[in-house]
């Protein structure tokens, strides 16, 4: 999770399979992302 915009970190910053969540993030979006991660 970051306070920076998604484009600020650049695509080469994240490793394979990693995603970024920018703040502020609605609780519904955060819980959906966490559920998706736990299902993997």
pLDDT of residue 8: 63
13 Cα distance to chain centroid: 13
DSSP H helices, the chain, are 6-9, 27-39
Q: pLDDT by residue for the chain (40 residues), tens digit each?
A: 776 666 665 556 777 877 778 888 899 999 999 999 899 8
Between CA 40 and CA 38 the distance in angstroms is 5
pLDDT of residue 32: 94
Cis-peptide, bond into residue 29, ω within 30° of zero: no
Predicted structure pTM score: 0.58
């Amino acid at each position: 999770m970051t306070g920076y915009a998604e484009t600020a970190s650049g695509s080469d910053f994240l490793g394979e399979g990693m995603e970024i969540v920018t703040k502020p993030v609605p609780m519904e979006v955060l819980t959906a992302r966490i559920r998706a991660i736990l299902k993997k």
